[in-house]
Amino acid sequence: LAMTNLATAAIVGIYVKGQAEGGVVKLMKRLIFALVFNSLKVVAKGTVSKEQEKLKKKTTDMVLKHIEGERTTVLPAKGMEKNTLIERMKKASSREQIWRKGMVSGTVYHGGDDILDVIVEAFRAFAVSNPLHPDVFPEVRKME
């Protein structure tokens, strides 16, 4: 009896709403379209999410395939000693010298060690600056 009452109420509700919105057939078409469209959105969202994850993994693998050893992905609670950090940077730099042999084109334009010394001093002089604030750092903006 409860199911019969529920079905009757649903049919009457659809009929009344359909009359108010231009006919029962038009209302049913809209309801079916909305049901199908929303179902497709759910399916598409799952498919898009899977494709995004695959692309993220592929990109990560491509970018990181040349990186060996330990990677730091979060800031440590306590920083390392200055000398340890400098030693690590020197070691890392020593592994990235293929460009000095002329084996890569268009990657690095090196003007020699004299120019490198000037670049290091320029960086030392202006490392703590921001060219986005020319009112505070007008000389940096001038060089920019």
* pTM higher than the cut 0.75: no
Amino acid identity for residue 18 in this structure? G
Question: d(Cα 76, Cα 14) in Å, to the nearest integer?
Answer: 62
pLDDT score recorded for residue 78: 93
pLDDT score recorded for residue 26: 78
pLDDT level of residue 96 (50, 70, 90 thresholds) = confident
Q: At CB < 8 A and 24+ separation, what contacts does 135-141 make?
A: none
Q: Residue 105 in contact with residue 114, Cβ under 8 Å?
A: no
Mean pLDDT, the chain, rounded, equals 84
Q: Give tens-digit pLDDT for 25-75.
A: 777 788 888 888 888 877 777 788 888 999 999 998 888 887 877 788 899
User: 């990235």: which residue's tokens?
Assistant: 96
Is residue 144 predicted with pLDDT exceeding 90? Answer: no
Share of the chain above pLDDT 70, in %: 96
Is residue 18 predicted with pLDDT exceeding 70? Answer: no
- Report how far Cα 120 is from the mean position of its chain's Cα atoms: 32
* CA-based torsion, 129, 135, 138, 141: positive or negative: positive
Is residue 131 predicted with pLDDT exceeding 70? Answer: yes
pLDDT score recorded for residue 48: 83
Residue 48's H or E segment, with its range, is helix 24-64
pLDDT score recorded for residue 42: 76
Is residue 23 predicted with pLDDT exceeding 90? Answer: no
DSSP code of residue 100? G
